[in-house]
Every structure is written in structure tokens, then in C-alpha cells.
Structure 1
Amino acid sequence: MDTVRSFSADTEAALWQQVAADMARETDLLEYTADLHLQGHTIRLDIDIDLGGGFEGGFETTTFTAPVPASVELRFALHEQDWIHEIGKLLGLTDVQLGYPELDPAYIITTNDPAALQALLSDPASRETLQKYQELRLSLAPVHHDNMDELYLTLTKEQAIVEPAQLQEIYHLLFSLLQQLAPTAAPSGTTAPVKLNG
């Protein structure tokens, strides 16, 4: 396990200046883990590259994870459309349509509250990022089924993203969603949180 770095700042730009500088110093980014602290929220970034060897194929992932209060009732998962899910649709399995033409055909969407998820994704910038990096999984769910009180917002992409500007785009998406799901004391002028608890 690589060292878990920790960065904090007053602004997103300042936070990512620190991360970009740290990543630039790394000669080997096979594993990179950092806790990013901003405005009362912590999002963990994990980059994992396994080159494989011999008969084993390698893999790579980029994951952002953030705890969300268990009091949030919304649960959802978005993941890319593929032929397996297309067959599932033919067999009668259905996913939710949110009314966003850039997301509905690109993702399998499941949720316990379509209206709340539609409100959560109402920002066009969030949907644009989801469209840009669409081969991913974004979910709000307990990580372990035996502990339903630990709720996490998680974005996983089966690709090692090591370009700080791209990582910052994805981070911004997660941070924006997190601000709506678990508002903290924020500076004046920020938008009101989306009502997500029934």
C-alpha cells in the first residue's frame, strides 16, 4: 500500500495545485492515494496500476470515494451501457430514465428516488463531465452490505487517470454532488442544497 497523502486548501484550485505538484514529483505512479480536504469534505483519490506479468493481465483503476451521512436516503448507481445490459433490457430488466438526453442512453441508472437523483444531476456541468468520462461507475451506496450505516459516494473508472487536469474535472463533479448531499457551512452565495431526504 502506498503512502496516503493528505492535502487541504481553502479553494479547489489551490488544492489541485498541491496535488499536481506532488504528482509531478513522483517518478512512478503505479499506486497513488491522497485524501483531499476542502470545505469540510474529504474525498479520497486512489490510482492503482498493476502491470501484470507472465500469463496474468494487468489492470488499472482510478477511484474517488467520499463518506456521506447515513441519514441521506437517496441511493443510486450509474454505469455504462454495454451489450450485457442491452440483453437484460430485452429480457424485461429496466433502468430509470431521468430525462437527460446525454445521460439516459449512455448509462444504466438505478435509484430508489428518480426525482431526487434528477435534482442532484440538474447541473449541466455535472452531466457534461459524466458524458466526457462515461466509461465509469458512479454510486451512492453502502460499501459493505453488513454495515448499512457507512454510506459512500464512489466513482470508479477502469483506467489510470494520471493527468491532474482530468482528475480535477472528475473531483469537481464529486465535490459538487457531495455539497448537495451533505451541505456544510459554506460561504455566502452558494446554491441551496437539493432536498434529498424524502
Structure 2
Amino acid sequence: MNNVHTFSAETEETLWQQVAADIRQEEGLLAYNAELIQNGYHMQLDVDIDLGGGFEGGYESTTLTAQVPNHTPLRFALHEQDWVHEIGKLLGLTDVELGDPELDAAFIITTNDADALRRLLLTDPAVRQTLLRYQELRLTLAPASHDADAEANLTFFKETALVEPEQLREVYHLLYTLLRQLSPSATL
């Protein structure tokens, strides 16, 4: 079982100084789990690397997840545009366009409110840049369970282990920026 490291700070700079120092102490990083707390917002970071062995192939992934209060009506999913999803569009999968040619070309986008998603993703240029830098991702805002009163989770998932603190901080900043827009007063 992996240790869950907990870091708390009032500023992103201070938080990531702590996280970066901790990650750099890990030798042969195969798994890393942390709870990141900043100004009342809580985010879970999970990096998992399985080298496989024998006839088994390995895998790796990076996940950041944060709870958003259930009063947030927006729901969405962004995932990479590839040939499998192009076939899905031919078979009726609905793809929302945000009006940003690069983002629209890079991602399959589904949402219950295109205008709200457009404001969320296009207000801060750093959000757009990070999405384009990590195009092979899945970014979702969806209920954590099927319960009617379930909290929503904002989740970044990538089938690559991001182990460099600078990369992880960039993705953290993306989610933290979105969280502050979705829930301006952190009472989580």
C-alpha cells in the first residue's frame, strides 16, 4: 500500500515547493499518492507505473481528482480526438464545438451547457495552453456516483505517468483554476 502524502499551503508556489521536494526524494518512483490542499480546495494526485513482467505489458497513468459541490450544474467530458472517436461521430456521437479551432480539432467534447463550458475553458489562456499541451487526456466533470445528491468530481486522467514536478504542477494549476471558477468560495 502506498503512502498518501498530504500537503497544505495558502499559495500554489509554496504548495509545489513541498510537493517537488517530496517527489525528488522518491527513488525509482512507481507510485505516488498525495492530497493537495490549497485555500480550502482539496485535490488527490495519483501517479501509477506498473512495469509489467513476463508476458504482461505494463501501464502508467496520472490522475488528479477534486470534488466540486453538487450544486454545480455543469457536466462535461473532453477526450482526445482519434480515429475511434471519429467513427463514433459517424455513428451519432455528439461533439460540441467551443469555437476555438485548435481545441475543437484536438478534443471530442460533450457537455450539458456549451456556453458555460466555453466560459470555463476559454477565460484563462493558461487553461487552453495546458489542454493543448496534454491532448491525450480525459478531463471530466461528472457525478462521483449514481446517487442523486452525489458530489461531482473534476478529474484529469492521462495514460502516461507525469513524474516531473513541473508537469504535475501545470496540470494541478489547470484543475485549480477550473475549481476556482466552478466553486468560487472553497467550502469543500
Shorter-chain TM range is over 0.9
Per the alignment, residue 60 of structure 2 pairs with 60
RMSD, aligned α-carbons: 1.2
| Distance (whole Å) between structure 2 residues aligned to residue 159 and residue 147 of structure 1 | 33
Per the alignment, residue 51 of structure 1 pairs with 51
Equivalent residue pairs, number? 185
| Structure 2: gaps of 5 or more residues | none
> Normalising to structure 2: TM-score of the pair?
0.94
Taking structure 1 as reference, are residues 58 and 146 closer, same or farther at Cα in structure 2, changes over 3 Å only?
A: farther
Name the SS of the counterpart of 1:71 in structure 2. Answer: coil
| Residues 68 and 153 in structure 2, CA contact (< 8 A), matched pair in contact too | yes
Per the alignment, residue 85 of structure 1 pairs with 85
Q: What does 1:145-156 correspond to in 2, within 5 Å? A: 145-146=146-147, 149-156=150-157
Structure 1 residues 19-55: Cα deviation after superposition (integer angstroms, max 9, x where no partner): 0000111113111000010011011110000111111
Q: What does 1:1-198 correspond to in 2, within 5 Å? A: 1-122=1-122, 123-146=124-147, 149-184=150-185
| Residues 11 and 38 in structure 2, CA contact (< 8 A), matched pair in contact too | yes
> Normalising to structure 1: TM-score of the pair?
0.90
1:88 to partner: Cα distance: 1.8
1:146 to partner: Cα distance: 4.6
| Distance (whole Å) between structure 1 residues aligned to residue 35 and residue 185 of structure 2 | 18
| Structure 1: gaps of 5 or more residues | 186-198
| Distance (whole Å) between structure 1 residues aligned to residue 31 and residue 153 of structure 2 | 22
1:16 to partner: Cα distance: 0.3
1:111 to partner: Cα distance: 0.2
